[in-house]
């Protein structure tokens, strides 16, 4: 067995079943996955961990799932890291394309929804957004507003937050 493969086997338990991994191997796996993910995230776009669009949320769920399997040994270690890197690269490609094409951006990231216009609540838009008046009232209170009559426009943004322009 070549020295590199032997070292990987000793440190990572490459051929071990998940139940046979020792604590030190899991710790080394976790450290390496953590380091790899830091590198991948730094190579990805800056907004990827800020207010999440559905595209960002999907990526975070997938990366968490795949990375955890690499740490626990339920999936091959290097394959898991490679899959995480590939997903982040795909995310960057989709982001690059969507910022240059409104059609693709709307398809991938969604559209904002106008919920209030000139102090009037659009009840149909609220129903389509699965948002109750209580939800709207809560979001308005968090912005220091008492009711919709104080608003020129309120939009449910693509990331799920409410943006408000006061009247």
Whether residues 125 and 64 share a domain: the answer is no
Strand partners, 124: none
Structure confidence by residue, pLDDT tens digits, 22-81: 899 999 999 999 999 888 878 766 555 555 677 778 888 999 999 999 999 999 999 999
The tokens for 6 are 């032997």
User: Which pLDDT does position 48 carry in this prediction?
Assistant: 57
What's the CATH code of the domain at 161? 3.30.240.20
113-117 sheet: strands from edge to edge: 120-121, 113-117, 151-156, 162-166
pLDDT exceeds 60 at position 137:
yes
User: Which pLDDT does position 85 carry in this prediction?
Assistant: 92
Whether residues 116 and 101 share a domain: the answer is no
Whether residues 81 and 151 share a domain: the answer is no
User: Which pLDDT does position 111 carry in this prediction?
Assistant: 87
Whether residues 126 and 96 share a domain: the answer is no
State the residue range of the domain holding 135: 111-166
Q: Give the Cβ contact number of residue 33 at 10 Å.
A: 21
Whether residues 115 and 102 share a domain: the answer is no
Whether residues 96 and 17 share a domain: the answer is yes
User: Which pLDDT does position 78 carry in this prediction?
Assistant: 92
pLDDT exceeds 90 at position 161:
no
Class of residue 81 by CB neighbours under 10 A (exposed 0-12, middle 13-18, buried 19+): buried
Tell me how many domains the chain contains.
Answer: 2
Whether the model pTM is above 0.75? no
pLDDT exceeds 70 at position 101:
yes
Whether residues 115 and 74 share a domain: the answer is no
Mean pLDDT, the chain, integer: 87
pLDDT exceeds 70 at position 125:
yes
Class of residue 92 by CB neighbours under 10 A (exposed 0-12, middle 13-18, buried 19+): middle
Give CA angle at 70 (67, 71), nearest 5°.
90
User: Which pLDDT does position 17 carry in this prediction?
Assistant: 86
């Amino acid at each position: 067995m070549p020295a590199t493969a032997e070292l990987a086997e000793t440190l990572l338990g490459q051929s071990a079943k998940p139940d046979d991994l020792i604590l030190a191997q899991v710790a080394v796996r976790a450290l390496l996955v953590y380091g790899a993910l830091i590198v991948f995230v730094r190579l990805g776009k800056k907004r990827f961990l800020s207010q999440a669009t559905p595209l960002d949320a999907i990526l975070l769920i997938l990366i968490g799932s795949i990375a955890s399997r690499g740490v626990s040994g339920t999936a091959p270690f290097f394959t898991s890291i490679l899959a995480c890197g590939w997903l982040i690269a795909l995310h960057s490609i989709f982001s690059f394309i969507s910022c240059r094409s409104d059609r693709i951006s709307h398809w991938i990231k969604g559209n904002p929804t106008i919920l209030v216009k000139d102090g009037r609540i659009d009840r149909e838009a609220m129903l389509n957004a699965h948002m109750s008046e209580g939800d709207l009232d809560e979001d308005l209170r968090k912005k220091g507003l008492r009711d919709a009559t104080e608003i020129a426009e309120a939009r449910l943004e693509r990331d799920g937050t409410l943006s408000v322009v006061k009247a």
